Amino acid sequence: MVVNSINFWLFFAAAIIPYFILFRNNSKLQNLWLFLASYFFYGWVDWKMIPLLLIVTAVFLGRFIKANNQENPKRASLLTTVGVILGVGMLAYFKYLGFFVQEFASLFESIGLKTNLSTFNIIMPLGISFFTFKLMSYVIEVHRENIEPTKDFVQFGTYVAFFPTILSGPIDRPTGFLPQLSVPRKFDEHETSEGLKMVLWGMFLKMCIADRISPWTDAVFGNYEHHNATSIIVAAILYLIQMYADFCGYSDMAIGTSRIMGLKVVPNFNRPFFAQNVAEYWRRWHMSLTTWITDYVFMPLNVAWRDWGKTGLYLATVVNLVVIGVWHGANWTYALFGLYHGLLLVITMMVEKKRKKLEKQHDLKKNEVYKWSRRALTFCLFALGAVLFRANSVSDFFGTLAQIPKGFGPMFTGGFFAILTYAVPAIFVMFFREWVQEYNRDIHFFHSKHVWMRVISIALMISYIIYAGELDGHSFIYFQF
């Protein structure tokens, strides 16, 4: 039941009507209804994992941690540590154990020792990376006394299993989300309108850009040995755009549906293609994950290693990005993806003083050519990282890169006509909208003060989705994480 499917919107309509009509004055009944709706949604996707979700929610409720903070700080710290270990252990078991078992089996077989370990298989619950991070952040924030622990299992369970975000985020913090569940949510015409606009924009990104690009990039990367430098480079550029349109599209739809229900979810993207360096790009890309890892991994490591000076800072940065990489899954490509970006960030920090000095000497900060050249370089660096992210294995990644020195030639055109016809106009619209937002241009469509302009803009967007969008309901890239 993907967010841009008819089934989802039938489900959403069935959920939202009682939510605002029958239970509008009672937050507890609204929470109970959302709790049941979220578990129904999750069960529709993977009903076998409902007991796991219930059990871990109960285990992590964690109100006893607050009770012991002042009376017995050591015990409170121990309980918090146990909670974090349980979260990490759950991820390690479901996401990584099968991978490492297979890796060891391959290693043993390479030296002539036969094993049956390769048959070891673990089914990974959908959304585990997202709801596990919610659980761990709750335990940590309660221990830090940044939030009062809730004694309401339904309220806490609703936060963990909230159906718009459980499968692919954004990753909400309990400090921002739980207080919203303590008060009744009223139907708000403005919030509903804004939420529907976000949903519409998310559908546009997903269906008219990501899903239109996907068949072509899959064809190139799936058979890279048959393609030349032209196809590989174009595929790398398009795949980065596809990733963004796919994940940002989902995030906007999740945020939009939440907004309709009177709940604010943290933003996940902030025009990353306008970033002028790698550090800025990560501040704009998958922000809920980046800030989570930064707060709970980088900051403690940076404090622990501060006596090492810049070496400690650089090491904490690399570890931070490697964790972000392996969060995506059990594959050496993700670890290398994180290491690659960690090293890029270290290089960015090492040259920062010289860069600022150069900018001041030549008055480059307001120079548009300089800014766009930096954006182009950043985009290219991330496009290379996207190839590594997309590769099925490290050997596939290097095999793909090995095609580039073989030279340029005619580009693979099978299915490319659909990209030129449908996706490219949509990409121009996407960049134009983000350019307007980035530069605060006084150009408005969805939010024009003129009703006729809003109506025409929305009608044109819906028409283009129907005409050019891929309506088959493709799965989202981040569902696998």
Q: Find tokens 């619209």 and name the residue.
A: 429
* Strand intervals (E) in 25-118: none
Residue 115 lies in a domain: no
Minimum mean pLDDT among 17-21, 51-55, 107-111, 422-426: which range? 107-111
Residues 231 and 295 in one domain: yes
Q: Give the confidence band of 54 by pLDDT, cuts at 50, 70, 90.
A: very high
CA–centroid distance for 195 within its chain = 19
Minimum mean pLDDT among 96-100, 178-182, 186-190: which range? 96-100
Residues 48 and 18 in one domain: yes
Residue 402 token pair: 């090995």
Cα separations (Å) of 379 from 296, 337, 455? Answer: 28, 15, 34
pLDDT at 62: 66
Full domain range(s) for residue 459: 191-468
pLDDT at 117: 57
Among 138, 164, 187, the domain-final residue is 187
Residues 166 and 200 in one domain: no
Mean pLDDT, residues 169-174 taken together: 93
Mean pLDDT of the chain: 90
Residues 351 and 378 in one domain: yes
Residues 284 and 303 in one domain: yes
Among 164, 187, 210, the domain-final residue is 187
Residues 172 and 293 in one domain: no
Residues 173 and 303 in one domain: no
State whether residue 197 is helix, strand or coil: helix
Report percent pLDDT > 70 for the chain. 93
Dist. CA 365–CA 452, nearest whole Å: 39
pLDDT at 447: 87
Residues 183 and 197 in one domain: no
Residues 415 and 321 in one domain: yes
Q: Give the confidence band of 99 by pLDDT, cuts at 50, 70, 90.
A: confident
pLDDT at 118 over 60: no
Q: Find tokens 């795949």 and name the residue.
A: 239
Dist. CA 481–CA 477, nearest whole Å: 8
Residue 269 token pair: 């993207």
User: What is residue 342's DSSP assignment?
Assistant: H
pLDDT at 319: 96
Cα separations (Å) of 44 from 126, 171, 260, 476? Answer: 11, 21, 22, 16
pLDDT at 68: 59
Dist. CA 362–CA 60, nearest whole Å: 55
pLDDT at 395: 94
Write out pLDDT tens, residues 229-285: 999 999 999 999 999 999 999 999 999 999 999 999 999 999 999 999 999 999 999
pLDDT at 467 over 70: yes
Dist. CA 140–CA 173, nearest whole Å: 11
Among 165, 187, 209, the domain-final residue is 187
Q: How many domains does the chain have?
A: 2
pLDDT at 330: 85
pLDDT at 427: 97
Query: Pick from 312, 258, 267, 314: which is nearest to 290 by CA?
Result: 267
Residue 106 lies in a domain: no
Contact 430, 438 (CB under 8 A): no
Residues 161 and 215 in one domain: no
Beta-carbon-side half-sphere exposure of residue 362 (alpha carbons within 13 Å): 9
Residues 213 and 280 in one domain: yes
pLDDT at 160 over 60: yes
Residue 96 lies in a domain: no
Cα separations (Å) of 144 from 70, 217, 289, 296, 360? Answer: 11, 45, 20, 12, 42
Q: Is 300 exposed, middle or buried (0-12, 13-18, 19+ CB in 10 A)?
A: exposed
Contact 230, 409 (CB under 8 A): yes
Residue 356 lies in a domain: yes
Write out pLDDT tens, residues 288-309: 999 999 999 999 999 999 999 9
Residues 141 and 254 in one domain: no
pLDDT at 70 over 70: no
Residue 478 lies in a domain: no
Residue 164 lies in a domain: yes
CA dihedral 386, 387, 392, 395 (to 10 degrees): -140
Classify residue 329 as left (phi > 0), alpha (psi -120 to 50) or beta: left
Contact 178, 150 (CB under 8 A): yes
> ∠153-154-156 over CA atoms, to 5°?
65
Contact 11, 1 (CB under 8 A): yes
Q: DSSP readout, 116-138?
A: SGGG---PPPTTHHHHHHHHHHH
User: What is residue 210's DSSP assignment?
Assistant: I
Q: Find tokens 């995506």 and name the residue.
A: 328
